[in-house]
A = this chain, B = another copy of it.
Amino acid sequence: MTDQGCVNLRWALALFDGLVEGGMRHLVLSPGSRSTPLVLAAQRQPALTVTPILDERSAAFFALGVARASGRPVGLVCTSGSALAHWFPAVLEASESGIPLVLLSADRPPELRGWGANQTIDQTRFFGVHVRAFHDPGTPEDSPGAGKLMRALGRRAAAESLSDWPGPVHLNLPFREPLVPGVDCRAEATQVQTAVQPPASSHRLGLAGNRTLEAGSRPLTVGLTSQCSGRGLICCGPGDWTADGAEALWQLAARLGVPVLCDPLSGLRFGFGSGSVSDHRLTRYDSLLRHPATAAALKPDWVLRFGRAPVSKTLLGWMAEVPTILVDAGRGWSDPNHDVRLKIDADPAVFCAWLADADLELGTSDPDWLAGWFQAERRLERFATEYLDQAPWCEGHLIRDLIARLPEGEGLLCANSMPIRQLDTWSGRRAQPLRLFGNRGASGIDGQTSTLAGLNAGGVPTTALLGDLSFLHDLSGLTALRTLQRPCIVINNGGGRIFDYLPQHGLPGFETLWRTPVAVDLGALAQTFGLIHRQVSDGAGFQQALSEAIQSSRPGGLIEVVIDADLSRRIHRDFWQTVSRLGDDT
């Protein structure tokens, strides 16, 4: 008689062979019975690191972090029923941000679906338009071609997750009982030639979007020359740049004679020195554009924008109505102002290299244009430094210290809402590389602590900067922080303080219904999850806590930064108001 448990296992083994051939090295699983063949197969695949995490929501954000840090497709396994629904928030972020995930949901076989069986829901096309591909290969069978099919499906799913539009891919995998093979079952993973595989990230960089540049270069050049006339600027939104790509960007900026506005999540503010060409980077635009005369004087005729929309609402509002060329390798069309005249499906680095060499009459002949930007940036940099030097300690000082002190080449995960905006304002630049991470695809409050653990597991030692609500939204993630070498910094200012800056501020019920502070003692919480807890409320305390957390060989733990939110708000308001009134002599 057929040993169905053995058939299930062989089926799953072939699938993982293909996934590993396609670049997968890490699998995150949540416990369950129906998923047993997948777990047994993963155990037998030596190329895979397997991490078990109880809460599927946390597991998925952890996988997202591993994939972000490693550039490789990361697998997720869960059992049937509501389990896969917990993945959805991280799937949305992966879809919007273009992060390769391979979702492997176990399912009941067709004869039990829709018949009221236990832990059974309709899992077919569960993630709708939010995955790049969906596959349901049916139940495992002992047929001659089965192994070949599943291995091919594994390779294909990995490739689909890494294509020129990277993102999540869903495989729904029904299994019949028995789920555990008999003692006579012989089933092993194939020795996969992992060494000869190209790293997944180069795959993405090398192939993405060349088509348009090759096949459509004539319409492209006509489009570019017709739009890029007069004074321009380059705006780099959230994205992934390599050193080579950045070098091509600087060459292009020099050739066009335009400034490069660098979003904090572009990664270009830290490291990526411009080598042979002068530095065209600007990082203070969110502040300097609050000065009306400067904002008016620096208004461009055209914008060349890379990647997703920038974090700064000031910048985005100011760029409205300016004709824009958008370059993005993915299928995203990030144009909330509806100003894009030309969308180019290309990897930004490939595009920069092509355009820097192209024989096109583009760009800015006005030499005062660049000089005006640099002068404004330097003035703002000087003013911000002087302002912070005399202001009471607040997030600005914290971010300045943090950017200065994080070790070279390491990572910083910055949460949405206030932290990323404050980082945008205060980070400035630094010479040493630093990898900036942020879940800005869906910009959710969710999954931050799990993403942090995943980034560290993915090979980039990463520190986090979170707000208290964001931290508390992902309590399950705390179980994965115990062994991290880098700290999780939580700005505890009593709830969602971004609302203090919005028109909702001061409405009746504001505290309860918008700001929503959570009454939890972070010290007790840290103790519960075995995290070292350091509470600080000033610069000296923060610097010491950060040094201890980073330099020690012990886990980084939790650094709780107690901030007086009302004071902080006054400082920020005063800073912006002073900037807006700066005279020409400063």
Contacts A82-B93, A82-B444 given: A128-B130 contact, CB under 8 Å?
no
- On whether the beta carbons of B503 and A179 are closer than 8 Å, the reply is yes
A43 to B513, CA, bound (A): 9
CB distance from A235 to the nearest CB of B (A): 13
Closest to A521 in B: B528
**Which residues of B lie under 8 Å from residue A515 when comparing CB positions?**
31
> Does A516 make an interface contact (CB < 8 A)?
yes
**Which residues of B lie under 8 Å from residue A120 when comparing CB positions?**
442
> Does A540 make an interface contact (CB < 8 A)?
no
User: Which of A144-152, A199-207, A328-336, A353-361 faces chain B?
Assistant: A328-336
> Does A586 make an interface contact (CB < 8 A)?
no
User: Which of A271-279, A374-382, A467-475 faces chain B?
Assistant: A467-475
Closest to A50 in B: B513
Q: Which of B81, B96, B473, B525 touches A444 (beta carbons < 8 Å)?
A: B81
**Which residues of B lie under 8 Å from residue A519 when comparing CB positions?**
479, 482, 530
Chain A at the B interface: SS class: loop
**Which residues of B lie under 8 Å from residue A89 when comparing CB positions?**
82, 85-86
CB distance from A295 to the nearest CB of B (A): 21
CB distance from A112 to the nearest CB of B (A): 6
Report A16-31 residues with CB < 8 Å from chain B CB: 29, 31
> Does A88 make an interface contact (CB < 8 A)?
yes
A442 to B113, CA, bound (A): 12
A473 to B40, CA, bound (A): 24
Closest to A499 in B: B33
1/0 per residue A118-137: CB within 8 Å of B? 11111001101110000000
Closest to A31 in B: B516
> Does A111 make an interface contact (CB < 8 A)?
yes
1/0 per residue A377-390: CB within 8 Å of B? 00000000000000
**Which residues of B lie under 8 Å from residue A514 when comparing CB positions?**
31, 33, 36, 39
A528 to B527, CA, bound (A): 9
**Most chain B Cβ neighbours within 10 Å, of A112, A116, A442, A502:** A116
